[in-house]
Amino acid sequence: MKNDLYIRALKGEIVERPPVWMMRQAGRYLPEFQEIKAKYDFFTRCQTPELASEITVQPIRRYGMDAAILFSDILVIPQAMNIEVQMKPNFGPYLPKPIRSQKDVDNVIVPDVSVALDYVMQAIKATKELLNDEVPLIGFAGSPWTILCYCVQGQGSKNFDIAKEFCFTNPFAAHQLLQKITDTTIAYLKAKVKAGVDAVQIFDSWGGMLSPTDYQEFSWQYINQIIEALKDETYVVAFGKGCWFALPEMARSNASAIGIDWTCSARNARYLTGGNVTLQGNFDPARLFSPPADIKKMVTQMINEFGKDKYIVNLGHGILPNIPLDNAKAFIDAVKEYK
Ligand code: 1CP
């Protein structure tokens, strides 16, 4: 690997400067992505290796981040499990037959991922060729809880109230569903590693919807199963949005790094994780609307606060679709210029 800064940070090695990439960097704000998006619908882009690999490398070509993340979506998992998932333009994910009963859970399958998600493995192989060992490739999956949220709610939500109602009125069925998603995700991430990804990230985007106690029961124990199953094969990064309360527990796990959202200070994140774990984050994505010169100052300060070692510079959540190109560039450049 010509640029292995990201891997070295995951190993906790001393580095000249921290590595940088941006969550949701592939697809969203780049004009070259918008061109492809205008021609092909969402799942065609995911399922065509030439398109998925091209979208994956677009941000690397333009900005030179230290890692690429495969263009795909967390919802390819429920789709492979026999749950219909549509991606509606200007609306987002839509699942016409949400899971609401034990019978619905019984109908969910744990698929052979090497068949059902072979297109993802082909996309990884095509991307590795395009990347030509310049930078590592990150594979990802949603946490079982976050996937359950969509499966039960049927669409995005501000509070995932129906998903929580299902868990609290029918915990037996909810845990069965979570275990099926976990088993599928483990097989899926193992196949991704075999296909060539250099690390994997688990997105628990909606973990912060749960109380600390419910987080342990409905989210963390399943994420931890995934970490334990993958830890000897690759680096696992766990990112939970709104999950600062679980940082001590996360830091005790075998994850190689922990993602931090922007509501937690660097100092608090280091304190809660014991100071010895690699952390990733946590620039407020909306702060990329500030003028480029201000972005650079804030990024330098963020690195000083986290410390340059055991640290991966990132946003605290995905980049917003309407961020000016020069502002994204200022974010990446500030890290590369860090002394
Ligand atoms: O047509 C389109 O382009 C639709 C927009 C889009 C894109 C570009 C969706 C629909 N998914 C994606 C790609 C995607 N999704 C990636 C690829 C790599 C990248 O962009 O860098 C990744 C990593 C994801 C992960 C994802 N999808 C998450 C977890 C991360 C996060 O942002 O919290 C979640 C929650 C989703 C669900 C999803 N897919 C798409 C949308 C609009 C949403 C969110 C809907 C909601 O708010 O509930």
DSSP state string for 15-49? -SS--B--TT-SSSS-HHHHHHHHHS-HHHHHH-H
Tell me how far apart the alpha carbons of residues 255 and 143 are, in angstroms, rounded to a whole number.
14
Q: What is the pLDDT of residue 243?
A: 97
Nearest Cα to Cα of residue 29 among 275, 332, 296, 250: 332
| Helical ranges in 281-324 per DSSP H | 292-306
CA 56 – ligand 1 centroid, Å: 13
With a pLDDT cut of 70, the percent of the chain lying above it is 100
pLDDT in tens, 48-95: 999 999 999 999 999 999 999 999 999 999 999 999 999 999 999 999
pLDDT in tens, 243-293: 999 999 999 999 999 999 999 999 999 999 999 999 999 999 999 999 999
Average pLDDT over residues 21-44: 94
CA 102 – ligand 1 centroid, Å: 28
Q: What is the pLDDT of residue 27?
A: 80
pLDDT in tens, 134-150: 999 999 999 999 999 99
Q: What is the pLDDT of residue 71?
A: 98
> Nearest 5 degrees, angle CA 81-CA 87-CA 89?
180
Contact 29/161 with Cβ under 8 angstroms?
Answer: no
**Alpha carbon nearest to ligand 1 atom 5, residue:** 28
Average pLDDT over residues 204-213: 98
**Alpha carbon nearest to ligand 1 atom 41, residue:** 92
Mutate to test the pocket of ligand 1, among 20, 21, 23, 24 (most ligand atoms within 8 A of CB): 24
CA 75 – ligand 1 centroid, Å: 9
**Alpha carbon nearest to ligand 1 atom 28, residue:** 74
Mutate to test the pocket of ligand 1, among 48, 58, 73 (most ligand atoms within 8 A of CB): 73
* Nearest ligand 1 atom, CA 87: 10
Q: Who lines ligand 1 at CB under 6 A?
A: 24-28, 37, 42, 69, 71-75, 87, 92-93, 140, 142, 156, 203, 205, 318
CA 73 – ligand 1 centroid, Å: 6
Is the pTM value of this prediction over 0.85? yes
Confidence of residue 29 (pLDDT cuts 50, 70, 90): confident
What domains does the chain contain, in order, with CATH numbers? 5-336 (3.20.20.210)
Q: Is the pLDDT of residue 182 over 90?
A: yes
Q: Which residue has the tokens 């959540």?
A: 317
Find all residues with CB under 8 Å of 158, minimum gap 6, and list them. none
CA 327 – ligand 1 centroid, Å: 21
Q: What is the pLDDT of residue 28?
A: 84
